[in-house]
Amino acid sequence: MYSLIVKHKEQIVIQKDLTDEEASAIPGFGAEWILNAFKEYIGLDIGNYKLDEYDNTSKDFIIYIRTEDLERLRDNKLEQLGIV
């Protein structure tokens, strides 16, 4: 199982644990797979993130989200919920 983790100022904001089926449904290999997974399951395009904004272990992929991206995710979620 793989985990996609989004952190902001060392706090976990989002953690999505992928099942084997979810992980195998993501196209690509290596870095491309990670980009596609974050876009599909988190809704975050990490293509322009720098290496120092990324970390990983053997099963965890961690992005240190920028404040503007965190605000965008929040606004999108509020819109989905019909609050905005």
Give the strand pairing for 60-64 and 2-8: parallel
Question: From residue 33, how far is each of 20, 38, 39, 84 by CA, in Å?
Answer: 14, 9, 10, 32
pLDDT in tens, 26-58: 999 888 999 999 999 998 999 999 999 999 888
Which residue from 80, 60, 73 is spatially nearest to 18, judged by alpha carbons? 60
What does the DSSP assignment read for 11-29? EEEEEEEEPHHHHHHS-SS
pTM of the model: 0.86
- Mean pLDDT calculated for residue range 68-83: 88
Tell me, what's the pLDDT at 84? Answer: 66
Q: How many CA atoms lie within 13 A of 14 on its CB side?
A: 19
